[in-house]
Structure formats: structure tokens, C-alpha cells
Amino acid sequence: MAFQDNAGGIVLDAVLTDLGRRKLAQGNFRVSKFALGDDEVDYTLGNRDTGNFSLDSFPPILESFATEAGTINNTLMNFARVDVMYIPQVRVNNLVSSSTSAHTDGFYYFAVNKETRRRLELNIGTSFVIENDRYDQAKLVIESGILPDVVLDIDPTPQNKESYIYNLDLYDKYYLTYVDTRFIENVLLSPSDSQFENDENDVLYMNLGPLKTGAKVSLPGIIDNYDCYRIQASDNGVVEVAAGSGDAHSMFSGPRSTIFALNLKTINDISADSSSPTNFRYSKFGETSYNLFGSSERYDFIESSIYIQGLSTNSTLNVPIRIVRYSGSV
């Protein structure tokens, strides 16, 4: 047994990832930069004014992981300005036409075929359903912007967008989107030159389509079976032209950054209508012949998630989805 005397000093335990160990074995391992992160810390548990945590709410600090995907996902950022209290967040915009909202159960419903879409719309309404592989109908609209509070209110003016987004390199022009390849074949994305802006009368001019097939990128997956897609977003030109203007079009009361829309193309094996047998994936990864809405209709479904990350801010969004197929009635 031995004890380590750490009085008067701080001991850093550096754990190499699998990639780091491989480079070390090859003789070309060299530390050129480092980053700090606090992924495991929930700051809502602490005192906002002092930054202190009470003893019973102090978050546990995780040990280092050797896997590359298990290391820091959100690095800490350093700003010289003392007025920077917020960074842009990523949210689903459910305010504009053709955008989809989460159902009361928290899921976004993706119908794998037209038959299922029609059944779901009768049960939960048209604003909660997206049909598989459609380029010109309901879609997920993803928006980035600043959500201030009463402590430091920042109006969504062009000047504040310049000061708090452009000048701080927090403009998420590009995003990464991760989807589960066991169920999803591709992602459909809005064109990079899409329009989203309001005029001096707060009339919205929006054109986020038609969607086009996305392209996969060769980046390490954050989760097994997930592929990555790179998205070029469009500028979010909704600004404040009068008090409260733009609030009907945007999820953010502060400066707005970028916006894009997406849909999914599921694999053909899970997209057949109710006249075909149920694919094994529904029973292996989800539920079959399930009474979702308390009626005689039965559905097969699989629950999954879409992960979206802004490349400039590292802001992330987890979109829970339910991939649904109508299987018949009893």
C-alpha cells in the first residue's frame, strides 16, 4: 500500500485515447494544444450569482475515457469581453408553416409511408407528423440563436447580431447531424441559399425547400451505428424592427443566427404499408401492433434520436423521434 502526498500541489492524471496510444507507439505523439471541458456539470444545480455548489449538489467528476468519442464533447470557451453571458443555442422552430412540433409525449413522429401519415394526422393532427422521404411537405426546422433572460436582455437587432454572434465567431454556418443507420438511409436538407427573413412590417419571407439529399461525411461517430451528415445552414434574417417583432417567427428573443430544415429517408425494409409483413427491426428495436392512441388502430414503431451540433458554438440538440408504421386495426 502507498499514499500519494498531494499537499500543496495539483496532480493531473493524463489518460491517452486509443488514437493517442497508437501515435505514441508510432513515435509521432506530440502535444500541441489542449482543451478543457465540463460536460458532466449541471450548472443549474449551483448558485448562478456566485458559481458555487452546495456540498450535496456538487456534481461528480467523471474519470478520463480512453475512447475518442467518450472524451470532451463540449469544450470550454474563453472570451475577453465581460458582457458575454450567452452563446447561441440550437432549437426546433415549431412556429412557422410546414414546421413540425413535438407531440405531447415529447416525440417527433415520422411516418414511414403515406398510409401511416394519414392515419397519424387523424389521431394527433397534421402539425405533429412528418412523412418519410418527402421534399416539399412537413419538416423539422432547426434554428440557432441567443435566448437571453431578465438578467441581461439582448434585443434581436442587426447590431447585436454583429456584436454577440459575428464578432465572437459564434455564427453556426455549418452543422453536423447524426442519425441511426439501422433505420435511416439518408437525410434530406434545405438548400444553403434558402430564405428566412422579415420586412419592416414583420412579414416573414420563408423558403426552406425543396429539400435535397444530403451527403455523409467521414467523421468518427458519436454512437455506434450512427452516420454523420454535414449541413450548410442559411442566414436567419429575422430581426427586431419594432418591439416584439420577429417573436412570431423565431424561438429566440435575442439575436438570431442561422436556420435549416430537414427530413429523413428511412430504409425500405421498414417502410412497407400494412399489407406487408412487419419487419423484424420493429420487434427487435421497438414495438409491434401497439395501441398508441387508445383506438382500434395498431402501429409498429421504433424510438430513436437525431443529434445536431453547431460547428462554431458546439451547441447541441437531441431530437427524440418515433418512426411509425400503421400495421392495421383490430
Number of Cβ atoms within 10 Å of the Cβ of 210? 13
Please list the alpha-helical segments (H only) found in 70-153: 114-124
Q: Are strands 256-266 and 140-145 parallel, antiparallel or unpaired?
A: antiparallel
The dihedral over CA atoms of 226, 98, 252, 202, expressed in degrees to the nearest 10, equals 150
DSSP string, 282-329: HHHHSEEEE-SSSSSEEEEEEEEEEEEEETTT--EEEEEEEEEEEEEE
Q: What is the reported pLDDT for 151?
A: 60
Q: How many residues does the chain have?
A: 330
In the structure grid, which three cell numbers stand for residue 184, read together?
Answer: 435511416
Which of residues 5 and 193 earns the better pLDDT score?
Answer: 193
Q: What is the reported pLDDT for 1?
A: 46
Q: Which amino acid belongs to residue 39?
A: D
Distances (CA, A) of 115 to 101, 126, 130, 151, 327: 20, 14, 12, 49, 10
| Helix/strand number for the chain, H first, E second | 4, 16
Number of Cβ atoms within 10 Å of the Cβ of 43? 11
Percent above pLDDT 70 for the chain: 89
Domain map (residue ranges) of the chain: 1-76, 89-329
Rg (CA), the chain: 23
In the structure grid, which three cell numbers stand for residue 58, read together?
Answer: 456538487
> ∠ CA 136-141-143 to the nearest 5 degrees?
150
Q: What is the pLDDT of residues 266-276, one digit of tens each?
A: 999 999 999 99
Residues 6+ positions from 65 with CB-CB distance below 8 Å: 15, 17, 71
Q: What is the mean pLDDT of the chain?
A: 89
Distances (CA, A) of 217 to 11, 158, 177: 39, 33, 10
Q: What are the two backbone dihedrals, phi and then psi, of residue 239, each rounded to the nearest 5 degrees? A: -130, 170
Q: What is the pLDDT of residues 121-163, one digit of tens each?
A: 999 999 999 999 999 899 999 999 999 876 678 999 999 999 9
CA distance 302 to 188: 20
Which of residues 201 and 42 earns the better pLDDT score?
Answer: 201
CA distance 98 to 96: 7
CA distance 281 to 164: 46
- Whether the per-residue pLDDT at 288 is higher than 90: the answer is yes
CB 181 within 8 A of CB 231: no
CA distance 266 to 324: 11
Q: Which of 281, 202, 283 minimizes the C-alpha distance to 240? A: 202
Q: What is the reported pLDDT for 223?
A: 81
Q: Which of 250, 204, 226 minimizes the C-alpha distance to 307? A: 226
pTM: 0.85
In the structure grid, which three cell numbers stand for residue 116, read together?
Answer: 401511416
Q: What is the pLDDT of residues 296-319, one digit of tens each?
A: 999 999 999 999 999 999 999 999
Q: What is the pLDDT of residues 67-115, one digit of tens each?
A: 666 667 777 888 888 888 889 999 999 999 889 999 999 999 999 999 9
Residues 6+ positions from 20 with CB-CB distance below 8 Å: 29
- Whether the per-residue pLDDT at 191 is higher than 80: the answer is yes
Dihedral sign (CA 80, 258, 97, 309)? negative
